[in-house]
Amino acid sequence: EPALSFSIPSIFDEISLDCRIYHPSSPPNGDQEPARNWTNTAVIIAHPYAPLGGCYDVPVLTCLCSVLLKEGVTVGTFNFRGAGGSKGRTTWTGKGELADYESFFAFVTLYLDALELKPLTKGTKNLHIVLGGYSYGSLVVTRLPPISETLAKFSNPEEHSAAAVITTQAHALATETNNRIANERLSRPQNHSLRIGGKASSEMPRSSRENRRIEPYYLLISPLLPPISSLVMFPLGQNRADAVWTKHPTFSIFGDNDFFTSFKKLTQWSQRLSEAANSNFQVAAVTGAGHFWVEDGVEGKLKAAVRQWVHS
């Protein structure tokens, strides 16, 4: 079950988007040393094409949420416009969906940044955000603007704008999470290696926020390539996207029986990126897997590959 179910406005046209945040069932505590801190690590996974039934409840997303939560990270999912309970309609250009993703990405970033469960010992203050997508969701990820451009829209938002509402909501829900964790910890022995606080507003001390840097990662599951990609989203040049995949840690996984994009094209595309100089692009091809990952045994291979990448 999600820890938080809520809606936010899209910065494109302020329509309401369904959103969910999942936290690991056992957050970091004094009894064990977690592999990573769920308060500064999150994975966002966007769903397939809404007109074909895509939403955040599709089995592949449910499967990925399960394995990622077991790895101790926060997971965020949302419905694009026109999917599930989200308002609006799918845009043929993809501009609305890009803004939907940006809106949720900004929410997750602001929410994590406002959480107050942090180690007292000196360590990284960076936020680790995986921008992920499955099928059409991965296509949206490939078209996203630089994260600096997205976050600039939220640095000083106009009052009552969608960006301002998202900022306020992220801080309010972070306060709820801070209070819940604080109450849970009151019922068990305290460990002084962790601190819990309740301040989660835009008025947080600048000294605690100025040095936060976002380290982006990318997860592309069953990516769509031309010509099919051009039918569901306005085509854009790939040069910037290619540079992103090779610069930042990126993992793409697909099956060799994907009928939306030929295995030959997927292989050529992934080899070009993985063999680039100083590339951070990793790829896995699963024998026998189709686009929907329903073939016998392939779901387990998908989970194992994603788990291994998260560990790396």
What is the per-residue pLDDT across 106-119, written as a single tens digit (0 to 9) for each? 999 999 999 875 55
With vertex at residue 146, the alpha carbon angle to CA 241 and CA 23, rounded to the nearest 5 degrees, is: 100
Enumerate residues 6+ apart whose C-beta is below 8 A from 98.
12, 140, 143, 144, 145
Range of the domain at 190: 4-311
Spatial distance between the Cα atoms of 38 and 73, rounded to a whole number of angstroms = 5
Give the pLDDT score at 127. 92
Q: What is the CATH number of the domain that holds 212?
A: 3.40.50.1820
How far is residue 190's CA from residue 141's CA, in Å, rounded to a whole number? 41
What is the structure's pLDDT at 169? 98
Q: What total number of domains does the chain contain?
A: 1
Name, in order, each residue with C-beta under 8 angstroms of 260's C-beta and a sequence gap of 6 or more.
Answer: 135, 222, 224, 228, 291
- Looking from the CA of 307 toward its CB, the CA atoms found within 13 Å total 12
Beta bridge partners of 32: 29
CA distance 128 to 4: 20
Q: What is the mean pLDDT of the chain?
A: 87
What's the whole-model pTM score?
0.88
* Cis check: omega of the bond before 226, within 30 degrees of 0: no
pLDDT at 236: 60
Give the pLDDT confidence score for residue 240 in this predicted structure.
66
- Do 272 and 225 contact (CB within 8 A), yes or no? no
Residues of the chain with pLDDT under 50: 28-35, 120-123, 191-210
